[in-house]
Structure formats: structure tokens, C-alpha cells
Amino acid sequence: MTIQQFLVYLSLCAICVLTKPTDKKDRVHHDPQLSDKVHDDAQNFEYDHDAFLGADDAKTFDQLTPEESKERLGKIVSKIDEDKDGFVTVEELRDWIKFAQKRWIYEDVERQWKGHDLNEDGLISWEEYKNATYGYILDDPDPDDGFNYKQMMMRDERRFKMADKDGDLIATKEEFTAFLHPEEYDYMKDIVVQETMEDIDKNRDGVIDLEEYIGDMYSHDGDADEPEWVKTEREQFVEFRDKNRDGKMDKEETKDWILPSDYDHAEAEARHLVYESDQNKDGKLTKEEIVDKYDLFVGSQATDFGEALVRHDEF
């Protein structure tokens, strides 16, 4: 069994395990917080560093000299300036922040890419993915573990076709990313909703009623008394989820629940960084303006002196 096949097996096991009575399954897709630090520039710029670089890379910059930080920051600015016009706009900065915050997604794609691009042509066909993931299962049409692998494969094929914009059943890296992480792409959101409804809609009537909604999050498991959060979720369903008050959630109501229109933290942070760094107030940043305010964007031994001392860095 390959690692990809083993991961499929584990995911199916997880689906089949009943949720503990006190646990709550969360199907809502929220954008992650940019940082767990307090955003107070009067104290320090740690929040901005985490937002701009991602928390892991921010720690790396803390160990650099100011000169090294400025040099690396200049290289990053060149990447942010996508149209290469010499300016970084709020939109380009927002897109960079979102990329920095979700770098783990691209790292996950890279790991899986190596295991599925079997002929190493820089593309992954559906046949390649199917054979790498389900090959051994297809050889055994009646596996003794009881899982419906064929149904899962059909679901994967449907999602693969949705991600494959040109319909050639061959995925580029961007299309493969949309296949693995559909919640990150607007054109994939309908498939996220469809899969969620299929998971929860036990009676297959095409909608989610209150008991199906609660049953997806909570298993009584013989307990007579429901936890307080379950009672709250019942109230949430009636008051907020079921917008037309017909006792069930349709496709649009389910979409509003699992894919809410969150406050755009990346947009707000991009505007903040531009406002603080835009010396000539033209609404966009040059590389020089960004590097001049390098301590706002990235850390260094000079801007994180105390933390550097704790790590016994050299000065």
C-alpha cells in the first residue's frame, strides 16, 4: 500500500468514527487569523511581521541582521509586484499576505504532486491520480474492510473534473491545488457545498433538516442530556441558518453557513501597511518605501533585540 492509499484509508476511518458527545464538528471554512499577537504598533510590529511573512518565516527574520533583513525584503518585494511596474498596490500586497498565510497549502500540494505525477511531465491526469490513489483497491472489487472506495473515487472524479477548467482531464498545478483545497477557490465553492450536503443529508431529500444538522455534529451515544452547545446550535439553526423558516437548509443556506463572507483581514492589513509606508501618499509603494520601513514589514536582530538575546544570537 502506497502512502497515498494509506492516507485515503485513514480519511475513511476518520469519517466512520462517531463523534464524541462533547466534541463539536466544525464544517465552517474561516480564513485563518493573521497572527496570534496583539496588533498594537505602539508596542511592536510583531503582528505585522506575522501577517506579512507568516509566523514561521517571521521567526527566521528575527535572527537576521538589519542588512540581511533589508536584502531579503527587497527580493520579496520583487515577487509581490506581479505586473512588474515598480509599484506594490494594496491588491498585490493583499494577495501576498494571503499567500504567506496559506503557504502550508502550497507545501501540501508539492508533497502530493510528487506522488501523483507518475510520468513527471509537470501535469497530473485523472488516470494518474486514480491509479496512484485507488490502484490497489480497483484490483480488489470487494475489500474486506467494508469501505465504499468506488463511491469515494467517483466523488474525487467529480471534484477533479470541476477543478479542471479546460476539461481535458489533466490538471495543472493550479488546478490540482483547487482539487485538493476547493474551499480556497471561488469556482470550486459549489462542489464544497454539494459534498457537505451529501455528508449530512442522510435521507437524501436534497436538504438538511434540524436533526441532520445536529446529528452531524453530535452523537447522543446513550446520553439523555445534551451539552449546552448543542442546544445553542439548535437555536442557531432556527434563528440564523434556516433563513426562509421552512425547517431545513437548502443549497444557498448551506453555502452561507459553511462559506461565510468573513471580514477580510488580509485586505485590512494591506491597507494598514500601505498607509504607514506610503511616503508620497500616492496610494502605492515603491521598493524603496517598503525597505525604508523594513522594521514594519519584517523583524531583525535590531527590531527584536530582547528575543534575540534569549536565543543567544550573535551581534
Domain segments of the chain as ranges: 43-207+250-296
Q: Which helix (H) or strand (E) holds 131?
A: helix 126-138
pLDDT band at 148 (very low <50, low <70, confident <90, very high): confident
Q: Which residues pair with 124 in a beta bridge?
A: 171
Q: How many other C-beta atoms lie within 10 A of the C-beta of residue 227?
A: 14
pLDDT at 3: 47
Which is more confidently placed, 26 or 190? 190
Q: How far apart (Å, rounded) are the C-alpha atoms in residues 243 and 259?
A: 15
On the question of pLDDT at 150 being above 90, the answer is no
DSSP-derived letter for residue 186 is G
pLDDT confidence tier of residue 310, bands split at 50, 70 and 90: very low
Interval 123-134 mean pLDDT: 93
What average pLDDT does the segment 185-201 reach?
A: 96
What pLDDT is stored for residue 139 in this prediction?
66
User: Which range is most confident: 55-59, 128-132, 268-272?
Assistant: 268-272
pLDDT value at position 18? 38
Q: Is the pLDDT of residue 6 over 90?
A: no
Question: pLDDT per residue over 281-308, tens digit each?
Answer: 999 999 999 999 999 999 988 754 434 3
Report pLDDT for 143.
Answer: 59
| Amino acid 140: pLDDT | 65
| Residues 1, 222: Cα–Cα separation, whole Å | 37
Cell of 13: 476511518
Mean pLDDT of 125-143: 81
Q: Which tens digit of pLDDT belongs to each residue from 71-102?
A: 999 999 999 999 999 999 999 999 999 999 99
Torsion angle, alpha carbons of 191, 195, 196, 199, to 10: 170
pLDDT (0 to 100) of residue 14 = 44
What's the confidence (pLDDT) of residue 138? Answer: 66
**Residue with C-alpha cell 501597511?**
273
- As a whole number of angstroms, the distance between CA 128 and CA 117 comes to 7
50 half-sphere exposure, CB direction, 13 A CA radius: 16
The packing angle between helices 90-101 and 66-80, to 10°, is 110
pLDDT in tens, 17-68: 433 444 567 899 888 789 999 999 999 999 999 999 999 999 999 999 999 9
Whether the predicted pLDDT of 213 surpasses 90: yes
Q: For the chain, what's the residue count?
A: 315
Q: What is the pLDDT of residues 225-266, one digit of tens each?
A: 888 999 999 999 999 999 999 999 999 999 999 999 878 999
pTM assigned to the model? 0.77
Per-residue model confidence (pLDDT) at position 303 = 56
Kindly report the CA angle at 99 between 93 and 100, in degrees rounded to 5? 90
